[in-house]
Amino acid sequence: MRYIPNTKTDEEEMLKEIGVSSFNDLLKDIPEEVILKKTLDIPTLSEEELTEKIFKISKKNLDFRFLKPLIGAGAYRHFVPEAVKAVISREEFYTSYTPYQPEISQGNLQSMFEYQTHLSRLTGMDVIIPSIYDGASATAEATLMAMRLTHKNKVITSSLLHPHYLETVRTYTAPHQTEIHIAEYKNGLSDLKSIESMIDENTAAVIVQSPNFFGGIEDIESIARIAHEKGTLIIQVIAESLSLGLLKSPAEMDVDIIAGEAQSFGMDLNLGGPYNGYLGSKMKYIRQIPGRIAGETTDKEGRRGYVMTFRAREQDIRREKATSNICSNHALNIVAGNVYLSLLGKNGIKKIAELNTKATHYLRTKLIETGKFSGFKYPFFNEFVLEVKDKERIKDKLINNGFIPPFDLGTYYPGLEGYMLFAVTEILTKKDLDFIVNLLER
Amino acid sequence: MKLIYEKSKKGRHGFSLPEDQFKEINLKDCVPRYAKEKKEKELPEVSEVEVIRHFTKLSKLNYGVDDGLYPLGSCTMKYNPKVNEKLASIDNFLYAHPFTDEKYIQGSLQIMYELGELLSKITGMDKFSLMPAAGAHGELTGVLMIRKYFEDRGEKRHKMLIPDSAHGTNPASSAMAGFKVVEVKSNERGGVDINEIERLMDEDTAGLMLTNPNTVGLFDENILKIAKIVHSKGGLLYYDGANLNALLGIVRPGDIGFDVLHLNLHKTFSTPHGGGGPGAGVVGAKSHLVEFLPSPIVCTDDGKYFFEYPKKTIGRVRAFYANFPVLVKAYAWILSVGGKGLRQVSEASIINANYILAKLKKYYKPAYDRTCMHECVLTGREYKEYGVKTLDIAKRLMDYGFHPPTIYFPHFEPYAEETIMVEPTESESKETLDEFINAMIKIAEEAKTKPDLLKEAPHNTPVGRLDEVKAVREPKLHA
Ligand SMILES: Cc1ncc(COP(=O)(O)O)c(C=O)c1O
């Protein structure tokens, strides 16, 4: 077997050194009756056979490389530079373990620190946890964190929180007697009155996603004010982090905790994962935040270096008293995100965010102009909702012409069966958009 | 080394963008007043060349499995086959949007379904969820299923038994699932104390989370008795299969009484650790727990693959479906190795661990002096009298060019203190192990004769020991 270097002779020599006469002597703790008598019935393929098999299976998918998505809904096809892939294909990054030994892990640790800096500058938050599995689990962790901080067990979430995030929050909070109240939305944005009316003295946090599930840009600052006036924390969820390149930062809006998804920062769609969640908070909440964080320090000779820090929150030290059970996270995607944001820089992130916004507004304007579509009007980033009459026909048309159709809102929003959620990223050119308008007009 | 920010120069950039063709759209009209940024976001300005050089340099400060032995106990740092990386990034997988109709992603679904079937064969479980993103995530999923199972039966069981040798994620996951953790002591043979289980397993207790082989590298010889006790009192048995490397083709957890388990594909099944993820912590259930699996799971009928939503599901534990490329890698590995190879993997890993134990036990007193499974637990206790800590031994190993083993885990008194947990995996040759063994013996010598050499170690790394206290006292968490 090509992945096992030792030969039969090696093994025999080693068994002799161990002091047993056969391998089976090493299994003496295992009750005889449960040891498998037969080889597992699984074929062995050569590298070439394997490659052929998996490529063939992949052909049963559509040719997604050449299908441009008009869909986002929490997973965005942005352009990923080859430089990102080149870096994360370096064995030093992808074959290493969690940086428990900082002296030989400075690559990962410094990269974590740099990425924390990027996100801190984008969000304004003092504390950034650079990797929680994904945006949904990060939102769930943020919810539990708010409950610990306030010793309260009611949370209010906007109905425009990504439905998968909401379901994940429900799963994580189920054992903790959590009351989840869903605030209404109006015209594509959260209804501030509905949120306000739900807050009471037992409310731990208000959870609002912005841009929300419909792409809408929420007035987080006002929601934060309402929450704080009533003594409640506000959690902003950011499922499309590219929006940070354009919009006011959570810290500027006095958000207490953020839970985000950084997939747009250099990660491919991959049918939904692995992406990279993150958390952020004000400094005063650091002891309740879950997940690994890097900090700067020095060695004895005064050389700068990085370590995992504030470790007394973690499961390996605190066991059942830890702030979370999280151990492995999506570390390699920290490197991907770091490379991506470093390439973009100050101007790049702004330009891509702007391009997304403009292209999206262009498409909506043109579609409305056809007179065939209507929808609520609200400020949006790179997604918007339209009522689509002939849904099934439009889906077919789009897929047959090289575009993945928009998200069908009927899946999660009863009453919106006739509505679709369109997403536009920089992948779609003006030519593509004009073609789409033309196609849908007919 | 400089931070990327320290290389920034106004006007540089490393991105390529299509030209803005939407001049007629005025950005001002798109962003509402309340959301206009006040402060610009000061990311660094660097060219693509500089970015590549920066990260190449950073990478050289790291140590990966491809650099050499990485004997971290409980982590299974085995070789990550190159072909798997390629197969996981085939365009049709890579660019698949999670919200496309099932009929367009039949290939991806087939891989998911077939991987689940292969894992069922290997573990003896009935159905797998591939959704959890890591081992701890799988544990949370599994214990939430246990919780729901009892709720469904109208039973109130709020305690969970967990051995003192368990990985920290076990108690943390149980607590997250709302259980009160009850610790079970290990006995003098390295197993769980069966009388304690008998005593603690009551009507308020949901069950036991067990790692087997446990973290001291020993297979619990009482496993069938333990399962019987837990089940006879109406409890369930959770298997922490983060590390299954000793049991492939030898024993199936599903045959020895476990009701639900998780596996780390990023350990036993060769998918890379990525500096701490992403991996996958898939969860397998016996038939009586299948209806509680997280939703959705992949099923098949008449050659078609589709998502199904288990009746009494605990719900979702994340967005979308799974860490898909990780699944492809595990699938590819299982088929490369095959049924025969799986057993060889476990044999080789067990022999390697026992070889190290046999050669080093004179120098580093083992936690338990018995033959082990895929990893062995030594201790650095005897060097305390020279003022040398286990940490010093680990740091000194770096000077010899090795990644140190896991240290200070497991930790429980009186058997496992100052532990050095070595897991060589099947990937290492006898020659590599001999080099490691020689280095460890030399270090044992040095500990007695030149203890300062160890206390000051490592000497040849880009930075020396870093001041962790300072990192907390004067927190600097971003530039
Ligand atoms: C025995 C054991 N259980 C659980 C885990 C947790 O796995 P993960 O880090 O993938 O969450 C680990 C790995 O660290 C482990 O060794």
Answer positive or negative: Cα dihedral of B145, B150, B154, B160: negative
For residue B296, give Cα distances in angstroms to A260, B101, B113, B127, B315. Answer: 23, 14, 12, 12, 8
Which residue out of A17, A30, A41 would a mutagenesis test of the B interface target, given it has the greatest number of B Cβ atoms within 10 Å?
Answer: A30
pTM for this prediction: 0.98
Which pLDDT does position B223 carry in this prediction? 98
In the Cβ-directed half-sphere of B109, how many Cα atoms lie within 13 Å? 25
Any bridge partners for residue A299, and if so which? Answer: B466
pLDDT in tens, A20-78: 999 999 999 999 999 999 999 999 999 999 999 999 999 999 999 999 999 999 999 99
Q: Which domains does chain B have, with CATH numbers?
A: 4-60 (no CATH), 83-336 (3.40.640.10)
Mean of the pLDDT values across residues B456-473?
97
Which amino acid is present at B39?
K
As for the ipTM of the complex, it is 0.98
Q: Which stretches of B60-188 are DSSP H helices?
A: 82-88, 91-94, 106-123, 135-152, 169-176
**Residue B18 confidence (pLDDT) above 90:** no
CA nearest B295: which of B270, B321, B269, B273? B321
Min Cα separation B379/chain A (Å): 18
CA-derived radius of gyration, chain B: 25
Q: How far apart are CA A81 and CA A268, in angstroms?
A: 11
| Protein residue with least CA distance to atom 12, ligand 1 | B242
User: Could you tell me the fold of the domain covering A82-340?
Assistant: Aspartate Aminotransferase; domain 2 (3.40.640)
A278: nearest Cα among A296, A294, A264, A258: A258
Does A4 sit within 8 Å of B54, measured CB to CB?
Answer: no
For the segment B163-181, the average pLDDT, to the nearest whole number, is: 98
- Estimate to the nearest angstrom the gap between the alpha carbon of A181 and the chain centroid: 24
What are the pLDDT digits (tens) for A343-359? 999 999 999 999 999 99
Let me know: does B356 contact B424? Beta carbons within 8 Å: yes
| Residue (of A262, A430, A439, A265) closest to A361 by Cα position | A430
Contact A358 B96 (CB under 8 A): no
DSSP secondary structure string for all residues of A252-273: GGT-SEEEEE-TTTT---GGG-
- What lies within 8 Å, CB to CB, of B54 at 6+ separation is A342, B2, B4, B7, B46
Which residues of A, range 177-206, sit inside 8 Å of B by Cβ? none
> Identity (one letter) of the amino acid at A138?
A
At residue A209, the pLDDT reads: 98
State phi, psi for A146 to the nearest 5 degrees: -65, -35
- For chain B, what is the total number of helices (H) and then of strands (E)? 15, 12
pLDDT mean over B114-136:
98
Instruction: Tell me the CA distances in angstroms from B220 to A60, B53, B101, B170, one per residue in order.
Output: 45, 50, 47, 18
Q: Which pair of structure tokens corresponds to residue B112?
A: 């998911």
Q: Does the beta-carbon distance from A133 to B347 stay under 8 Å?
A: no
List helix spans (H) across B177-222.
194-200
Please state the rounded mean pLDDT for residues A123-130. Answer: 98
pLDDT tens digits along A194-252: 999 999 999 999 999 999 999 999 999 999 999 999 999 999 999 999 999 999 999 99
Say if CB B217 and CB B376 are below 8 A apart.
yes
Chain B, 332-371: which have a CB under 8 Å from a chain A CB? 332, 334-345, 347-348, 350-352, 354-355, 357-359, 370-371
Mutate to test the interface with B, among A25, A64, A127, A287 (most CBs of B within 10 A): A64
Supply the DSSP symbol for B283: E
Q: How far is the CA of B148 from the centre of ligand 1 (A)?
A: 23
Per-residue pLDDT at A442: 85
Nearest to B405 by CA among A312, A319, A101: A101
CB B394 within 8 A of CB B419: no
**Nearest-CB residue to B95 (from A81, A249, A269):** A269
What does the block give as tokens for A351?
A: 């330009």
Distance from the alpha carbon of residue B136 to the mean position of ligand 1, in angstroms? 6
* Pair type for strands A233-238 and A257-261: parallel
Give me chain B's average pLDDT, please: 97
Interface of B with A in 95-134 (CB under 8 A): 95-100, 104-108, 110-111, 118, 121-122, 133-134
Per domain, the residue ranges of chain A are: 64-77+347-441, 82-340
* B86 vs A47: CA distance, rounded Å: 12
Instruction: Enumerate the H helices of A326-425 as residue ranges.
Output: 332-369, 391-400
Position B458 confidence tier, pLDDT thresholds 50, 70, 90: very high
How would CATH label the architecture of A64-77+347-441?
Alpha-Beta Complex (3.90)
Report the mean per-residue pLDDT for chain A.
Answer: 97
SS3 A89: coil
Pairing of strands A419-423, B180-184: unpaired
Q: Inspect the interface and report whether the beta carbons of A58 and B107 lie closer than 8 Å.
A: yes
Q: Helices (DSSP H) in A43-162: which residue ranges?
A: 47-58, 82-88, 91-94, 106-123, 135-150
How much of chain A is helix, strand and coil, in % rounded to 5?
45, 15, 35
Q: What is the pLDDT of residue B19?
A: 87
Residues A272/B321, Cβ–Cβ less than 8 Å: yes
Strands A304-308 and A294-298: antiparallel
CB atoms within 10 A of CB A304: 16
**DSSP state, residue A187:** T
| Stretch (H or E) spanning B308 | strand B304-308
What are A300's two structure tokens? 């004895």
Tell me how crowded residue A66 is: count the other CB atoms within 10 A of its CB: 9
Distance (Å, rounded) from C-alpha B176 to C-alpha A287? Answer: 17
Which residues form the pocket of ligand 1, taking CB atoms under 6 Å from any ligand atom? A 327-328; B 74, 134-136, 167, 169, 211, 240, 242-243, 264, 279, 281
Check A114 against B3: CB less than 8 A apart: yes
Tokens at B393, concatenated: 């031994």
Q: How far apart are CA B262 and CA B283, in angstroms?
A: 4
A120 part of contact set with chain B, CB < 8 Å? yes
Q: In the 8-state DSSP scheme, what is residue A234? A: E
| A259-313 per-position pLDDT tens digit | 999 999 999 999 999 999 999 999 999 999 999 999 999 999 999 999 999 999 9
